[in-house]
Structure 1
Amino acid sequence: SANFRYKAYMEKIDYTIKRNLDRNQIERLASLDFIKDGQNIFITGSSGTGKSYIASAIGYEACKNGIRTLYSDASKLMGQLKMAKNKGTIESEMKKIEKCSLLILDDLFLIGLDARERSILMEIIEDRHGLKSIIITSQLPVESWYDAIGDPTVADAILDRIVHTAHKIKLTGDSVRKINAKKK
């Protein structure tokens, strides 16, 4: 189960808004085969383009199909895991993440990673590589993730494990919130 920011439904995704959203790709991802294959999804785009909503809709679909899913704001999760490391409870926290077939890291790289966050992210990626899926949403394009990670060696290791088999959704255009506000 997951504690999503809001309930998002596949059938409520708005394809009429011009934002480079491919309905066929989203429907393929909604089949959840990417989870069986241990693949990842990257959803990038500027603020308000619907990244979190789409990630949540796929996550909610996974939950409905009995797939253990963890949704978390990336910076909050990193903060919690750093505190757990200080308290000596990091192993049990990492086990909770490991138990989930799908991990959704919302808004990753909104803030650059410090050395401890880099090592925690590396451990999460390492544990899941090829076995379990991650959906990452980010305002930064994938090409900028290397610099956002901060350490070239760690960046190489992380990106080498997650980029090649990832399904990429690059959202463009105006904020959906702004467009919907204008409609009202």
Structure 2
Amino acid sequence: MSQYIPQIKKHATRLRLSGIGSNITNLLLEAQNDAPSYDEFVFKLFSHEVKEREAKQQLLRMKLARLPVNHDLEQYDHSFTSGLNPTQLNQLRELNWLDQCYNIMLTGPSGTGKTYISAGLGFDAVQRGYKAYFRNISDILSTLRLKDVSQNAAKEFKRLAEAQLIIIDDVMTLPVNREDGNRFFVFINQVYETTSFIITTNKSPAEWARSLDDETLATALLDRFLYKCQLIQLKGKSYRMQNRKTIFENEKN
């Protein structure tokens, strides 16, 4: 094999071409067997690097998205809920709404698939190369509180501020104090024109006002979320309760 390989690897490391550096031996062997033209070989060389980088970026996007374990919409069971039929779900999965900066608000009782659907759409977005993040409302509020005093929170805030899709789970499930509510509004007001949101909630607009203890603030938040938004009301029994797990054998739900 070529005496230049060690030096090629050093140069690749220096130039941060890890895909080429780690695979140069195999790439040269293939070239010896296939005898490509010079331009074809260079094309294959850099195509390999691009492919490796895209794979690493995909893994990083998935890690930062922090999706729940269950998010495969191919396995979504429509028999447990109503409000979103297979055709509508497939239309949402095309992500045209995301390109147009629309929001989705999923409402309904616990266990009707709000989190599952939102996480699945988030997974589709990550797979397509979008910057998408799944956070519950407590995560968001914690980041907003700490962004000026914590480096990790500052990095997280920057990610969220530059996101193309933010999924916020369980909005207004618990009361939010006025200071946190104001921080949340300032953030949403900052990004809502350039970022799409998927909101899951089991609270009505009137209950948002009670959770925030501020009707004006609740109205302002809803105004921004609902300006360009598809509302989806899910109904049905809890999937988790219908498929309750047990440690005892032969015990029925």
Residue of 152, 171, 183 corresponding to 2:234: 171
Question: Aligned letter for 1:117?
Answer: D
1:137 matched to 2:200? The reply is yes
1:53 positional shift = 0.4
Deviation at 1:40, TM superposition (A): 0.7
Q: Which residue of 1 aligns with 2:187?
A: 124
Contact residue 165 and residue 196 of structure 2 kept, 8 A: yes
Distance in 1 of aligned mates of 2:100 and 2:79: 30
Q: Which residue of 1 aligns with 2:102?
A: 39
Q: Secondary structure at the match of 2:235?
A: coil
Deviations, residues 28-72 of structure 1 (Å, cap 9, x unaligned):
211111111111111111111111100000000000000011111
Amino acid at match of 1:181: R
Does structure 2 conserve the Cα–Cα contact (< 8 Å) formed by 1:51 and 1:137?
Answer: yes
- Cα distance in 2, alignment partners of residues 137 and 160 from structure 1: 16
Higher RCO structure (Cα 8 Å, ≥6 apart): 1
Map 1:17-56 → 2, pairs under 5 A:
17-56=80-119
1:1-150 superposed matches below 5 A:
1=61, 2-85=65-148, 87=149, 92-150=155-213
Question: How many residue pairs get matched?
Answer: 183
Q: What SS does the aligned partner of 1:116 have?
A: helix
Structure 2: tracts of 5 or more residues without a match: 1-60, 246-251
Mapped partners of 1:54, 1:82: distance in 2? 28
Please identify, of 149-158 and 27-36, the stretch whose mean Cα deviation from structure 2 is larger. Answer: 149-158
Identity fraction in percent: 27
Aligned residues of 1:46 and 1:171 also touching (Cα < 8 A):
yes
CA RMSD, Structure 1 to Structure 2 (Å): 2.2
- TM-score scaled by length of structure 1: 0.88
The one-letter amino acid paired with 2:187 is: I
Distance 1:177 1:26 in 2: 21
How far apart, CA to CA, are the structure 2 residues paired with 1:18 and 1:129? 29
By how many angstroms is 1:176 displaced? 0.6
Q: Within 2, Cα distance between the matches of 1:60 and 1:142? A: 28
Counterparts of 1:24 and 1:177, CA distance in 2: 24
1:82-129 Cα shifts (integer Å, max 9, x gaps): 2334x2666654322011100010111011211222122112211222
Query: Is this contact kept in 2: 1:106–1:136, CA < 8 A?
Result: yes
CA contact (8 A) 1:109 1:148 kept: yes
When normalised by structure 2's length, the TM-score is 0.65
In structure 1, what residue type is equivalent to 2:225?
Answer: I
Q: Conserved in 2, the CA contact under 8 Å of 1:40 and 1:135?
A: yes
CA distance change for structure 1 residues 137 and 82 in 2, over 3 Å: closer, same or farther?
same
Unaligned runs of 5+ in 1: none
**What amino acid maps onto 1:62 in structure 2?**
A
Range 91-100 or range 22-31, more displaced: 91-100
